[in-house]
Amino acid sequence: MTALRLLSLAATVTVLAACATTPPPQSGPPPVLVKLRGMGIDNITYEKIANRRVLTDTDISNLLNSKVPSPVILTYIKSTKAPYTLTNAQLEQLDDAGASGDLLNYLGKSTGFFEATERDQTGGSGKWKDNPYFNDPYYMGGAPFDYGWPGEWYDPAFVDAMF
């Protein structure tokens, strides 16, 4: 009888431990998306963010003009893990729109950080030529452009602190 009780206790502890380490499921969009919708940002820019897409300089400018804080924009841009190849003129326009130094610095150097710096890979047809995602039909890894919302966006304290 004691062995049955010990087995039952062990099963209960295991189930409780699993529940304690499993994060709660997320319901609805992150709080930041709710805030962005309320700030009246451009619908095209909102849809790109809601669908986890890369932003253009125009999208970033729209966010800055809607008074979205640069740290929020920077957090999203980093989460895309995509190279942003902006010209000096585009960076100056973002600076004039109120972009922070951190945001401008990141946008200016993300190409070498997230993409190979070979000339044929920074533009043109050879961009992904050696990536197994495109060349190996049996490749089981993730896509080279795995987008997702930043984890901080699910934390209401982060959202309240940024807005």
pTM of full prediction above 0.85: no
Give the chain's end-to-end CA distance (angstroms, integer).
Answer: 59
**Do the Cβ atoms of 144 and 127 come closer than 8 Å?**
no
Q: Which amino acid is at 74?
A: L
Nearest to 98 by CA among 73, 64, 74: 64
Identify the CA nearest to 149 among candidates 78, 97, 63, 87: 78
Residue 40, sorted as left (phi over 0), alpha (psi -120 to 50) or beta, turns out to be left
How much of the chain exceeds pLDDT 70, in percent?
Answer: 63
- Please state the φ and ψ torsions of residue 151, each to the nearest 5 degrees: -60, -30
- Mean pLDDT of each 10-residue bin along the chain, 163 residues long: 57 55 63 88 90 89 93 89 83 91 84 48 53 69 64 78 78
